[in-house]
Amino acid sequence: RISLAVTNYNTWTVNFEHANGTMPVQFFIFPEDDTAEHRAAWEKCVDMLSVFNRIFGTYPFIEEKYGIYQFGFQGGMEHQTMTGQGGFWEGVTAHELAHQWWGDMVTCKTWHDIWLNEGFATYSEILFRERVYGADPGQLLRRRDDGLASGRLRGTVYAEDATDPFDDIPAIYTKGAWVVHMLRYLLGDDRFFAALREYGQRFAYANASTEDLLRVFSEFYGESLEWFFEQWVYAPMRPIYAFAWSVHEEGAGYRLRLRLQQQQTHLIARRDPTLPPVYIMPVEFTLRYADGTSEVKRLWNRAREETFDILLSRRPVSVTFDEGNWILKELRAGFGESFAALEPSPRSVRSRVR
């Protein structure tokens, strides 16, 4: 693939200093847009190179260069080693640079797998802001979501129509980024970033499919993640949760009862029939106490309705659900009624955890 852009550019070069030397980063800007502010905005890609180099592994074209040239329409296009950008937004600059790893180094095998390029590049925008500004990744993703199961991100991450792979950009880009975020939640940072680097190395300068990604992350997780991909990658929509809590004195302490319902009516099309037809996820409850302290309980939810009893030495004053915004979900306040109408005799599973 060759891209040619020809005009009377102003150009300059900045060096990216890395462990093994120096790499040029070249810029080509329209003279009428050549301001100190615009130059500084694009030069942020040198900081981004440092950040992504650490997170993803060495920049894939380190012996060559990186660069940004301007084009006359909005957005960006990640040509290998020389990205076209219509503007100066930080998010676009981070997104297109990340494509050098996720898109240009590891290229999606088919158009069905385009989320491996776009979901990863979108999550990279979040990672950059987290690493450099200390931003909360869950909050950043939550801002790009309307919180509705039938909302903007209702589509399927795996592009079903390979003849029109960009027909659902919110699903491929933003829900795709949520999938990466939820893999991180599931594996924890150490295993997640190790898996990400291994995925990059194993498919470097080659192609990868969704199933390839599934295999690498399953290896690092320690067991098959097929159930995760069934519900988050191959199925549309998301879970709708409602929860309620109560606390009672018991002996010298307290018994906290957490009830969780999944109220969505859709099923998960490719679900392994031996697994429950609902979303299987670890869920986090944050317990707050009168003295200002708090703790997080992570519990596995594998049923449409589940009750968890937890014995505590102190009485919590509040309980919240998924405060870290780790799960793509719709959260409903109404507990019980809509659910009762949906399924008259829900299977209730009780588990006792400490």
Sole residue written with tokens 């390979």:
162
Torsion, Cα of 226, 173, 143, 227 (10° steps): -10
Contact 183, 217 (CB under 8 A): yes
**Interface segment toward Zn ion; rule CB under 5 A; list 8-16, 116-124, 230-238, 326-334:** 116-124
Q: Binding-site residue total for Zn ion (CB under 5 A)?
A: 2
Residue closest to Zn ion when measured from CB atoms: 121
Contact 66, 59 (CB under 8 A): yes
Distance in Å, CB of 175 to Zn ion, minimum: 14
**Interface segment toward Zn ion; rule CB under 5 A; list 114-122, 245-253, 254-262, 333-341:** 114-122
Distance in Å, CB of 276 to Zn ion, minimum: 35
> Phi/psi at 279 (nearest 5 deg)?
-75, 130
- Nearer to Zn ion by C-beta: 178 or 321? 178
Question: Does 233 contact Zn ion by CB under 5 A?
Answer: no
Token pair for 118: 């776009």
**Interface segment toward Zn ion; rule CB under 5 A; list 28-36, 38-46, 115-123, 139-147:** 115-123
Token pair for 232: 């988050």
> Phi/psi at 168 (nearest 5 deg)?
-135, 75
- Nearer to Zn ion by C-beta: 83 or 264? 83
Among the listed residues 41, 94, 121, 242, the single contact to Zn ion using CB under 5 A: 121
The 65-104 site mask, x for binding Zn ion (CB under 5 A), equals ----------------------------------------
- Nearer to Zn ion by C-beta: 45 or 283? 45
Q: Which ranges of the chain does DSSP label H, i.e. alpha helix?
A: 36-56, 90-98, 115-133, 137-142, 169, 176-202, 210-221, 226-232, 337-342
Contact 90, 103 (CB under 8 A): no
Helix 210-221 × helix 115-133 angle, to 10°: 50
- Nearer to Zn ion by C-beta: 80 or 224? 80
- Nearer to Zn ion by C-beta: 118 or 145? 118
- Nearer to Zn ion by C-beta: 177 or 216? 177
- Nearer to Zn ion by C-beta: 83 or 262? 83
- Using CA atoms, how far residue 307 sits from 194, 282, 287, 300, 310, in Å, is 35, 14, 16, 11, 10
Contact 108, 164 (CB under 8 A): no
Distance in Å, CB of 254 to Zn ion, minimum: 50
**Interface segment toward Zn ion; rule CB under 5 A; list 3-11, 113-121, 132-140, 325-333:** 113-121
- Nearer to Zn ion by C-beta: 118 or 322? 118
**Interface segment toward Zn ion; rule CB under 5 A; list 118-126, 142-150, 205-213, 338-346:** 118-126
Contact 96, 77 (CB under 8 A): yes
Q: What angle do CA 116, 121, 125 make, to 5 degrees?
A: 150
**Beta bridge pairs of residue 319:** 287
Distance in Å, CB of 153 to Zn ion, minimum: 17
Residues engaged in binding Zn ion (CB under 5 A): 118, 121
